[in-house]
Amino acid sequence: MDESTMNKTVLEVGADGVGIITIVNPPLNLVSVDVFLSLKKSIEEAVQRDDIKALVITGSQGKFSAGADVTTFGKGIKARTDFGFLSIEFATDTLEAARKPIVAAIDGPAFGGGLEVALACHARISTSAAQLGLTELQYGILPGLGGTQRLPRLVGLPKALEMIMMSKRISGKDALKLGLVDAIAPRDTLLSTARQWALDISDYRKPWVVSLYKTDRLEPLSEARIILNLAKSQARERTPNLTHPLVCIDVIEEGIVAGPRTGLWKEAEALLQLRQSDTCKALVHFFFAQRATLKIPGITDMALSPRKINKVAILGGGLMGSGIATAFLLANYHVILKEVDHNLLLAGIGRVKANLRSHAKKGKMTKEKLETVSSLLEGVLDYDSFKDVDLVIEAVLEDVSLKQQVFADLEKYCPQHCIFASNTSSIDLNKIGENTTSQNRILGAHFFSPAQFMPLLEIVRTEWTSLQVLVDLLDVSKKIKKTAVVVGNCTGFAVNRMFFPFSQAATLLVERGADIYQIDQSITSFGMPMGPFRLADLVGFRVAVASGSQYIEKFKERVHKSYLIPFMLEDKREGQSTCKGFYLYDEKRKASPDPEIVKFVEKARRASQVTVDPKLSRLSAGEIVEMLFFPVVNEACRILAEGVAIRASDLDIASVLGRGFPAYRGGIIFWANFIGSKYICSRLEDWSRVYGKFFEPCPYLVEHAMKQIPLVMLSPLKDTLKTVDF
């Protein structure tokens, strides 16, 4: 794009005396410092001109503005013209205090700084499909252009807090109900409606509203304090490790207690601080890492178009198969669910229907859609209806010979073009396809439980997987609303392989004296959704043992072999499904520690012939986090060194979206770089001297530690996997 046609605003004056100022910074009309300076200049010029009575601000190409440029977050403020001060000098003194009325005409996105420009206008007209939101908190900052002060005054404190705290985006139609916009207009009459509104204000036929000093929607101080205190305790509970949501509430409170202009100054100061915080840097990294997953060298740049997938077959209606079927139905695919007998089929279909009903119950789908979607599901016990299937996803038990048989069957019954994907957690895909001649259409489609909700899809390519098949599955992943990370084939692939040492480290520590419940507590305090033992209960010990055995077989020289879970299985403890695992579960699935667990720990300790290390019973939460996550970093380094992942940021996305590693820590590699490879490596070396090879740092990590460089530096984008045209 020509620089001269970007990063600016254009002022045009109509015969009716209304000046239209258009933000021109395609494709999203981001509000850069240059755009603000140009907007300020256009408004100042319009206020001076005798031929202009009123103004409308809009965005080019049907998009108001998607907000500030995220690349500028996480960096220091260089000049007074930067965002902190724009709040007062531009939005308040130039825009809101202009001598001529200004109306925002909103279509497409109006997010962050974009919406804040609109909030400072004297009225807002939008299309019903426009999307509005103050989304700054998701980047670790707060609305910094007066949004913390104006939104509560326009829609009331509870709604404003809900929108700001959750970075919630609402439609123009909903914004009208809240009073955030003044009227809705169809797209083709949006500008004319806004023009007329501006003229009506100018001629006193409509009120000239200055949002910053509006008081009618704001709760009285005593009530406001109760609402704010509640918001603070909710924020502490939801995100105990984060400070920026609390800072944001304090800024809103300041405006209510000391007046909006004081609130604006506090907002500007807070923005200056938060923009340079580690949380902001991590969240911005996460945002760009997620965008980067869309570009896969050697695949997405090959100009191949995805083929249309109409009919999908899922093999196995268990936990995963039913979740995967739900995800496909929600995206309107025709789904065949195959099981081995009538009762299992009924149970599988029952699970899918229950998933769909719960979706509708939460208001995410209408009753009509529920009926339509349910009618797209077909249950079968044989392969008769597989002759026109385009994609099969196998989700049968984690058993190599069963999977080999299933894939050989698929080759017999499915058409030549059909894609064969396996949801295996850990089995090498080449083994699975051993009895077929279809290696070029076999790949991994590794979903995470519960598959209908978890946002990650780990796509595993073997050395034979065709590019066309990869392009097809990437397209499908977008349609079923998953973020796809493409990785190479190996035992456990990227996500499970990376996190296997996490649970291994946990059992190693317990066998040598650490406390199960303290470990889980430390890991959840760090920000993980649950600790390793609670997770093992949820996944179920049989699944954990089945996938763990693949890993143990492959990497036997360095794994920690534990007897703890096998001994518990012998005693018919299988995890949450049997109400007994590392925890005891009541009828409401509430977990409580089980004093009997000591018995199994001692038995496992004797079997492994290890002695208790008293130091491990006194570990701090920080030490526990290090001892569980540094082995994960170590395995992630091996994955990078082998080229299983094509870039380090993919492992960040995989750790956050697949395992719930906190996004505000940026992902596993970002976090490791924050801590420093030298420190991680030296700790692993210390532990390996005491506890053995399991902790030994890999050469890739050692090399980075010696050179003291970030973990990504030595890893060029590797694309060594052989591909065969389909």
Binding site for ligand NAD (CB under 6 A): 315-321, 338-340, 344, 395-398, 402, 406, 423-425, 447-449, 539, 543, 547
Task: Report which residue type is found at 470.
Answer: L
- Specify the residue, 24 or 552, whose C-beta has the smaller distance to ligand NAD: 552
- Specify the residue, 302 or 346, whose C-beta has the smaller distance to ligand NAD: 346
Residue nearest to ligand NAD (CB): 318
Instruction: Give the number of other Cβ atoms within 10 Å of residue 588's Cβ.
Output: 5
Element (H, E) at 120: helix 112-120
- Specify the residue, 181 or 319, whose C-beta has the smaller distance to ligand NAD: 319
φ/ψ bin of 51: left (φ > 0), alpha (ψ from -120 to 50), beta (otherwise): alpha
Q: For residues 542 and 515, what is the distance between their CA atoms, to the nearest angstrom?
A: 23
Strands (E), 127-239: 131-133, 170-171, 183-184
Q: For residues 443 and 448, what is the distance between their CA atoms, to the nearest angstrom?
A: 16
Q: For residues 290 and 456, what is the distance between their CA atoms, to the nearest angstrom?
A: 11
What are φ and ψ of residue 589, in 5° steps? Answer: 65, 25
In 3-state terms, what secondary structure has residue 109?
strand
Tokens representing 679?
Answer: 């420190």
Does the annotation count 89 as an active-site position? no
Instruction: Give the number of other Cβ atoms within 10 Å of residue 237's Cβ.
Output: 8
Q: For residues 670 and 665, what is the distance between their CA atoms, to the nearest angstrom?
A: 7
Q: How far is the CB of 425 from ligand NAD (least distance, A)?
A: 4
- Specify the residue, 212 or 538, whose C-beta has the smaller distance to ligand NAD: 538
Q: How far is the CB of 344 from ligand NAD (least distance, A)?
A: 4
Q: How far is the CB of 29 from ligand NAD (least distance, A)?
A: 41
Q: For residues 330 and 426, what is the distance between their CA atoms, to the nearest angstrom?
A: 27
Q: How far is the CB of 32 from ligand NAD (least distance, A)?
A: 43
Task: Report which residue type is found at 295.
Answer: K
- Specify the residue, 340 or 717, whose C-beta has the smaller distance to ligand NAD: 340
Tokens representing 251?
Answer: 């800024």
Tokens representing 642?
Answer: 């082998």
- Specify the residue, 240 or 350, whose C-beta has the smaller distance to ligand NAD: 350
Tokens representing 417?
Answer: 């073009």
User: Residue 189 carries which DSSP code?
Assistant: G
List residues bridging with 171 in a β-sheet.
Answer: 131
User: Residue 484 carries which DSSP code?
Assistant: E
Alpha-carbon distances of 258 from 90, 96, 262, rounded to whole Å: 21, 20, 6
- Specify the residue, 316 or 631, whose C-beta has the smaller distance to ligand NAD: 316
In 3-state terms, what secondary structure has residue 175?
helix
Cα-Cα-Cα-Cα torsion 664, 667, 669, 673, nearest 10 degrees, comes to: 0
In 3-state terms, what secondary structure has residue 184?
strand
- Specify the residue, 315 or 645, whose C-beta has the smaller distance to ligand NAD: 315
- Specify the residue, 350 or 692, whose C-beta has the smaller distance to ligand NAD: 350
- Specify the residue, 339 or 511, whose C-beta has the smaller distance to ligand NAD: 339
- The active-site residue, picked from 96, 136, 253, 398, is 136
Pick the closest to residue 150 from 269, 30, 267, 63 (CA basis).
267
Q: How far is the CB of 400 from ligand NAD (least distance, A)?
A: 10
Q: How far is the CB of 570 from ligand NAD (least distance, A)?
A: 20
- Specify the residue, 290 or 425, whose C-beta has the smaller distance to ligand NAD: 425
Q: How far is the CB of 356 from ligand NAD (least distance, A)?
A: 18
Q: For residues 595 and 582, what is the distance between their CA atoms, to the nearest angstrom?
A: 10
Q: How far is the CB of 456 from ligand NAD (least distance, A)?
A: 11
Element (H, E) at 686: helix 677-691
- Specify the residue, 120 or 312, whose C-beta has the smaller distance to ligand NAD: 312
Tell me if 662 sits within 8 A of 528, measured CB to CB. Answer: yes
Tell me if 99 sits within 8 A of 13, measured CB to CB. Answer: no
Size of the chain in residues = 726
User: Residue 96 carries which DSSP code?
Assistant: I
Task: Report which residue type is found at 6.
Answer: M
- Tokens 């719930």, residue? 660
Element (H, E) at 119: helix 112-120
What are φ and ψ of residue 126, in 5° steps? Answer: -140, 165
Q: How far is the CB of 531 from ligand NAD (least distance, A)?
A: 16
Q: How far is the CB of 323 from ligand NAD (least distance, A)?
A: 8
Q: How far is the CB of 103 from ligand NAD (least distance, A)?
A: 52
Pick the closest to residue 63 from 13, 127, 144 (CA basis).
127
What is the end-to-end Cα distance of the chain in Å, rounded?
36
- Specify the residue, 320 or 476, whose C-beta has the smaller distance to ligand NAD: 320
Tell me if 175 sits within 8 A of 155, measured CB to CB. Answer: no
User: Residue 584 carries which DSSP code?
Assistant: E
Q: How far is the CB of 638 from ligand NAD (least distance, A)?
A: 21
Does the annotation count 574 as an active-site position? no
Chain-centroid distance, C-alpha 151: 26
- Tokens 């939104």, residue? 151
- The active-site residue, picked from 12, 44, 89, 116, is 116
Q: How far is the CB of 195 from ligand NAD (least distance, A)?
A: 56
Q: For residues 94 and 86, what is the distance between their CA atoms, to the nearest angstrom?
A: 10
Q: DSSP states of 454-484 as a string?
A: --EEEEEE-SS--HHHHHHHHHHHHHTT-EE
| Residues annotated catalytic, as ranges | 116, 136
